[in-house]
Amino acid sequence: MATGLDGRSVIVTGAGSGIGRAAALAFAAEGSKVVVADLNAETAAKVVSEIEEAGGSAVAVTGDLSEQAVVDRVTSTAVERFGGVDVLVNNAGIMDRMSAAADVSDAEWERVIRVNLTAPFLLTRAVLPHLLKAGKGAIVNTASEAGLRGSAAGAAYTASKHGVVGLTKNLAVMYRDQGIRTNAIAPGGTATGIAVDIDGEAHGPQALGPYFGNVGRVSEPEEQAAAIVFLASDAASNINGVVLAVDNGWSAV
């Protein structure tokens, strides 16, 4: 089935590694022009090189996506280099320390919410005028298993990903009549290579431990990327407001 992604302008955040990198490469393989947005300039440049070496088109934009100036730069780069924005993938995110609420510092709470929820909102707000002008477009957010339940992460991360789910559904309702679809994936355990620092934490990891036996097979980033590409594609043209669990059945347990 044709994806309809050839020639489309796609922004992928957190595209320097893990799920974001896999998604950027997958969109490029479909013929999309990709804005590789990441905090790490070195990894972003490497992904751009991979895409270009395969005959694709990509550009890197680096910086903290919770800062409006960086958000504006990402958006303007897509418009100036590729003629607009057709697809936005809000994928960048960070883990917490698996902390229970009583153990979460103000700094940890603010950092996790800022990166995981505020940044996707800011970039979505910046991109929406371009999607509305075109009368079509797709947004795909990376939520999490932790956005579906209370037993997959600490308080800050769980709250942030429930927020992503809520934002996804609200956008789907608010903009469906303007031709804009918004969906999300909810990854389960995924081999991204990102370490979780739980040194000094006791209650949170201990309370969550019994639930992690249900994780099942850990997925590869490419499996998550395949779901993202599908939701952004014409093959999903009537799918809107869905949170697709890509978790080997963890959410069904």
- Catalytic residue ranges: 157
Residue 61 is encoded by which pair of tokens? 């934009």
Q: What is the per-residue pLDDT for 99?
A: 84
Identify which of 99, 109, 228, 102 has the alpha carbon closest to the alpha carbon of residue 160: 109
Q: How is residue 147 annotated by DSSP?
A: G
Q: What is the per-residue pLDDT for 249?
A: 83
Q: What is the per-residue pLDDT for 210?
A: 57
Residues 6+ apart with CB under 8 A from 157: 95, 96, 112, 116, 144, 146
**Each residue of 243-252: pLDDT tens digit?**
999 988 878 7
Q: Which residues of the chain are under the pLDDT cut of 50?
A: 201
Question: Where do the domains of the chain lie, and which CATH numbers do they carry?
Answer: 9-247 (3.40.50.720)
What pTM value is reported for the model?
A: 0.93
